[in-house]
A and B are shown apart, each in its own frame.
Chain A
């Protein structure tokens, strides 16, 4: 936003700086989608939204449960007698049944290898609020957190904007499947120390956004011992825990702590129902800390973003239904697995590889062979081509602070089967067209992933006629909120 000098003086520094992150090019894909959203009938040439990590695959199960359980609502005949008590309930401890139900869900999602204590469940305004609250509790302005990259684009805002805390990325490389190594952590830590940056902790996302992979026990143990040694915090964002759809299973940091010598006061978990259940609108964020002081502090801070008691009540009822939850988790995994497989296969057919993943609502696609050159600039150019020509809103790796250009996060769960087909068709066409435009020999695809010779492809995509000039104009590059007429538009991933 352009600020007049007058406004700059009138408003706070926070209000006039860029740390809300919406000036990131990441949001340009949104705009392309908003101005031309795909619809199978009304707008079949529109942009398909593949930048939205949503989980809408199991609403049939949820709706069935809702119909069968009218007492879960305070507005039905069956539930109305609870309306008043719930409407006036603003205790920041949260409804006991709600906390118990969430604790139980977290336990189940971790394979019941850990029991979570309902008294440590603290509410927040979605995972967005939870992450910010954790940072407010643990770090002062100017302090920093180590964050393995690639990482969720929203962290730039959630961890930094109003807190004044910095992010120091720990760059992970494709050469070892983006593993978080002790060496990388140590190196990032030392480097920060030398620059007089005070590292207060590490934030990991497990399962990973954007990779869709889970951390193995070794890596988790290594992280826990790293933070214990350095006496810094470990915040584990586990909001994708129930999206694991194939082995290896999800292991929570809570599980790993159980048989390790470590300082429990350093360990905190962020949870949410936005991804696992598909309820981002309900703003259910959870801070779960093993540190009593942090729990108490976060609970006081939760006043700034409590979960609506109406929603607490509904979810307490839903998530206490063991049979429903078990069935839901199984079905959700199944459907995610199936959907992922459709994409994996479809992409393999045209020689596009993705990182092997078993979780999340997206895959991490390798487009490095298609880059003109291995630079972020080339990645951005390729991205604009994908948005404007292929008409898919995917998210470029640079928006996740990936240190290697050429990777893209593609969401696969937020659309119906027909749209999946259209998306795959477009990708196939794009890739094959790229091959045809080559004058040189290209390796023939045998159905297994193959790479083109880089220089051939670079030729075909360097043509400026593929760029939509309008996308480069200032008004499109403005950072702002999605265009209001699209009801399903969101401002975050």
Chain B
């Protein structure tokens, strides 16, 4: 046996998490509307595929954005040779402009603080390397993106301490929860170096309100620890409440700006995960300088910097893209959540992200994570949908699932919805509310059986949880 590093032989890469089993099921049997209509539909991938026609149209009209067109090839050489870790000025200006626009121009971003990284994945790792030593810890509110376990910990040796958020508070981050987590870390002799928040949230799809953000900034300022704001879903906010960035809040609250850092990316907001555009934006000069040196390990391809610079420096494109994206996401989200509510499935009320946080607690055999995993395997293997179980996001309560809705065509969405409907009808009839959509005979047969089931629904032993949709309006979303 050949000796490798501890990092290499450990499990820090996180791929032994059951989260990846759904992927494997999908990969061995991927859905295709024609070639494989019984395959697994991918609903575990937070991708934004809704605006590509819009982008392609812009590309056709702007051949100079490419180094490979007649209009752009004269820049090929100088771009191919450009490896300065500062990044192209036009690229940084364009990204700073985009970030500002997404925040309603309520904040201005300084292009000189824009530092590149290998996607948001690289950005997170880089920030952890700059702020914490091996064995030190970051607080992370649950539920959180499973990739954090790898990105923040694997090669850095940094620990993560969860800040438990509960459905009873709509999973909002409370001061109490933050204090509790901080105490717990102290007791475990872990030095807390910072708090990482994801806003808009993955997996919740919600944005944080101003009060919560202020409370968070006050907390970290008092404890003199860093605040890392992962804002990679900022432009996916499709309805009110409006997105509020920590960059805005620090303009209103007394705090040490040296503690404030933002992680950004174009993977979700623009739908370009392949282009690996990660950004670290820090208000701390030393962190900017250090991160910039580290960016050598994951610079953005100059070819891509050139494309993005051209695209995002086009003010019209910027404005229109943001509007178009919001609209498409709004429509898709609305349709999806409404369709689910028709079969009694609720989700956390959300206004952003590329997914919903689906409430399947009533379908659990018992309120345990084992039961959640059992239900998950059924969803993967029988319903053939790759959704992501809440436990993979370190959710404190079993029964929640993240379901992505923006990474597929409309007809695939219909197939997914019909599979869900069939599954619910077959196995969990008692959760269906009295009134349904009026569109099909399906509705008739359901409502017949429903009047019976309404009694079940109202019974104390049954499903009278605050999370089920109210019976009278099909458009009511589940709220916690």
Contacts and interface: CB of A to CB of B under 8 A. Distances in A.
Interface of A: 1, 3, 6-7, 10-16, 20, 22, 54, 56, 59, 62-63, 66-67, 70, 72-73, 75-77, 79-80, 83-84, 86-90, 125-126, 128-129, 132, 136-141, 143, 157, 162, 200, 231, 233, 263, 265-266, 274, 278-283, 291, 293-294, 297, 300-301, 303-311, 314, 480-482, 484, 487-492
Contacts of B226: 10
A138 B296 CA distance: 21
A76 B69 contact: yes
A126 B296 contact: yes
A15 B129 contact: yes
A305 B73 contact: no
Interface string B39-83: 000000001010010011001100101111110010011111111
Given A162-B129, A304-B297, A310-B307, A1 B286 contact: yes
Contact of B131 (A11, A75, A308): A11
B258 A282 contact: no
A75 B296 contact: no
B155 A491 contact: no
Interface string B296-311: 1111111110010000
B444 interface: no
B33 interface: no
Contacts of B274: 86-90, 308-310
B240 interface: no
A143 B6 CA distance: 11
Interface string B263-302: 0000100011111100000001011011011101111111
Contacts of A162: 129, 155, 294, 297
A297 B4 contact: yes
Most chain A Cβ neighbours within 10 Å, of B3, B6, B155: B3
B210 to A, nearest CB: 26
Interface in B304-336: 304, 307
Contacts of A87: 52, 271-275
Contacts, number: 278
Contacts of B79: 281
A75 B65 contact: yes
B81 A305 contact: no
Contact of A11 (B15, B82, B150, B286): B286
Contacts of A15: 129-131, 286-287, 290
B83 A281 contact: yes
A6 B8 CA distance: 34
A22 B293 contact: yes
Nearest to A310: B304
B85 interface: yes
B20 to A, nearest CB: 11
Contacts of A70: 68-69
A11 B2 contact: no
Interface stretch (B93-101, B118-126, B172-180, B379-387): B118-126
Contacts of B125: 304
Given A87-B272, A303-B119, A310-B303, A59 B7 contact: no
Given A11-B290, A281-B302, A484 B267 contact: no
Nearest to A8: B286
Contacts of B3: 200, 231
A136 B130 contact: no
B13 interface: yes
Contacts of B290: 11, 14-15, 20
B21 to A, nearest CB: 16
A308 B289 CA distance: 24
B298 A304 contact: yes
B81 A482 contact: no
A265 B2 contact: yes
A282 B302 contact: yes
A66 B76 contact: yes
A41 to B, nearest CB: 18
A125 B297 contact: yes
A69 to B, nearest CB: 8
A3 B298 CA distance: 25
Contacts of A10: 131, 224, 226, 258-259, 284
Contacts of A89: 273-274
Contact of A77 (B4, B60, B77, B287): B60
B296 A491 contact: yes
Given A14-B133, A310-B274, 19 more contacts: A56-B77, A76-B68, A86-B274, A88-B49, A90-B267, A136-B7, A140-B7, A143-B5, A157-B296, A231-B2, A300-B13, A304-B121, A307-B276, A314-B303, A484-B86, A489-B84, A491-B85, A491-B86, A492-B85
B76 A488 contact: no
Contacts of B133: 12-14
What 9 pairs across the A-B complex have the smallest Cβ distances? A309-B274, A281-B302, A73-B68, A75-B66, A308-B301, A305-B298, A125-B298, A305-B118, A280-B83
B89 interface: yes
B140 interface: no
Most chain B Cβ neighbours within 10 Å, of A54, A274, A310, A484: A310
A282 B301 contact: yes
